[in-house]
Amino acid sequence: MKLLICIVQEQDAHILRDDLIEAEVGVTTLATTGGFLRSGNTTFLIGISADRVDEVLEIVKNSSKTREVSTSYMPMTMGTDTYIPYPLNVTVGGATVFVLDVEEQIKI
């Protein structure tokens, strides 16, 4: 069994959730915050048998778009909570996925 941790942009989260549910994939979502941009994203916890990992990755790929994001602040601290104003464009997504081995899933 595998655990996929998928971080996607908030705009893509509802489509991905619907697609996973339709494919009968169990999922838990967490509201998370990106460390670099410090803006909201959504993290999916997906427990799945190893033979379905490629299928799930394909669903994630089809649901998660790449976007250019502009921010007017470079989220860098100077020892304190000081932000340096700086125009910044970054390409975010489609999705960041970690694939972990799961020793056991227990339902109590």
Residue ranges that bind ligand 2BA, judged by CB under 6 A:
7, 34-37, 41, 90-93, 96
Q: Which is nearer to ligand 2BA, 70 or 91 (CB)?
A: 91
**CB count in 10 Å sphere of residue 43:** 17
Closest residue (Cβ) to ligand 2BA? 34
CA atoms within 13 A on the CB side of 39: 13
Q: Which is nearer to ligand 2BA, 23 or 88 (CB)?
A: 88
Q: Which is nearer to ligand 2BA, 47 or 93 (CB)?
A: 93
What whole-number distance in Å separates Cα of residue 71 and Cα of residue 39? 10
Q: How far does Cα 90 stand from its chain's mean position?
A: 16
> Residue 80 Cβ, how far from ligand 2BA at the closest point, in Å?
20
